[in-house]
Amino acid sequence: MSLVFYSRTDAPEPWRRAIGAALPDLPFHAWPETGDKADVRYTLVWKPPAGWHGQFPNLQAILSLGAGVDAILADPDLPAGVPVVRLVGAGLGRQMAEYAAWGVLHFHRRMHEYALRQREARWEPLPPLPADTFTVGVMGLGVLGGEAARTIAGLGYPVLGWSRTPKRIPGITCYAADDLDRFLARANVLVNFLPLTPATDGLLNARMFARLPRGACLVNLARGGHVDDADLIAALDSGQLGGALLDVFHDEPLPAEHPFWKHPRVIVTPHIAAVTLASEAAAQVIGNLQRLERGEAPLGIVDRQAGY
């Protein structure tokens, strides 16, 4: 039995070392090396090509190198009945909370407005906004959104949260799925932590933006597929939205000709809100491989029907 690692952005060596030390009897192959394909029981992957898993006839589990599994589930030929296992936190929570908190501070302290003034060499202090009047709306209150919501609330901002099922989190005003409009009406900055599923695809569109207070800002660190890019640009150009901090895009790398790159109200980062580090995440992957070897359920099995 063996494991095949596939990623175009993560180096295999730290994973080979960590997994090899804990599971010396599990051969580790870094794609394109696979050994005997019939021996492959596990894959550890980030964005494998469509159809890729079909070459391993005896697969027992697909382990994701990320928290989001939309790219894996998008494969129409994904083997049925093989569990897909995602990362649950595993070091990503703190990084995501840091990025989200930075975005909130940036927009609350009006840095997007000062950036425009700097382009014109305009020295113009703006009235400060007290933190307790600047409401943050967190979409998705799971492992990562929940940690970020608590971190942001700790900075003194009123925090609203929105999730599919109702939640109770101390210090966060929680709204369930059917209460979206009430949630949006109060959010001065919207921070997106949703998984990309058929239910959330394209959710951040003109209808949503129109329901936010005028001048609200967007931090999207979940998936590019949540955003209707043309609607976002129109909302920024009309002033309905004040600014956007975007880490994720429909096409990654973001094409050089995409208008987001040069838009004066957009900040682009290259999908780095949280980066999976073997030093932080290998322990969870190893624990899951050990559970699977014992015939137990791993942590983080994805509901393939729900898409997350």
Binding range to ligand OXD, per CB under 6 A, among 24-32, 64-72, 105-113, 300-308: 64-72
68 contact partners, CB below 8 Å, separation of at least 6 = 86, 195, 196, 222, 223, 308
The residues pairing with 16 across neighbouring beta strands, listed in sequence order, are none
d(CA 106, CA 111): 5
Residue in 10, 164, 187, 280 binding ligand NDP, rule: CB under 6 A: 164
Our answer to whether residue 16 is catalytic in this structure is: no
Residue 100 Cβ vs ligand NDP, minimum distance, rounded to whole Å: 10
172 CB contacts (<8 Å, ≥6 apart)? 138, 141, 149, 150, 153, 159, 160, 161
Contact 302, 73 (CB under 8 A): yes
Closest CA to 189 of 250, 115, 129, 118: 129
If one asks whether residue 163 binds ligand NDP (CB under 6 A), the answer comes out as yes
* Interaction of residue 68 with ligand OXD, rule CB under 6 A: yes
- Please say whether the beta carbons of 259 and 231 come within 8 A: no
> What value, to the nearest 5°, has the Cα angle with vertex 120 and ends 115 and 124?
70
Find the binding residues for ligand OXD in span 90-149 (CB under 6 A): 92
Torsions phi, psi for 39 (to 5 deg): -85, -15
**By CB under 6 A, residue 72 contacts ligand OXD:** no
254 near ligand NDP, rule: CB under 6 A = no
User: Per rule CB under 6 A, is residue 231 in the interface with ligand NDP?
Assistant: no
Candidates 63-71, 120-128, 131-139, 299-307; binding stretch for ligand OXD (CB under 6 A): 63-71
Find which of ligand NDP, ligand OXD, none residue 219 binds, CB within 5 to 8 Å per kind: none
Q: Which of 3, 44, 67, 278 binds ligand OXD (CB under 6 A)?
A: 67
Name the residue type at position 276. Answer: T
Which residues in 11-49 are b (16+ Cβ under 10 Å) and which e? ebeebbebbeeebeebbbbbeeebeeeeebbbbbbbbbe
Q: Which is nearer to ligand NDP, 196 or 285 (CB)?
A: 196
Using the contact rule CB under 6 A, the part of the chain among 66-74, 125-133, 160-168, 233-241 near ligand OXD is 66-74
Is 271 annotated in the active site? yes
Catalytic residue among 29, 53, 223, 226: 223
Residue at 118: amino acid letter: Q
308 binds ligand NDP (CB under 6 A): yes
Report the residue number, 99 or 183, with the smaller CB distance to ligand OXD. Answer: 99
**Binding segment (CB under 6 A) for ligand NDP, from list 10-18, 22-30, 141-149, 281-289:** 141-149
Q: Is 45 in the site for ligand OXD (CB under 6 A)?
A: no
Q: Which of ligand OXD, ligand NDP, none interacts with 143 (beta carbon under 5 to 8 A by kind)? A: ligand NDP
CB 45 within 8 A of CB 68: no
Residue 25 CA, chain-centre distance (Å), reads 33
Rule CB under 6 A: which of 7-66 touch ligand NDP? 66
Active site residues: 223, 271
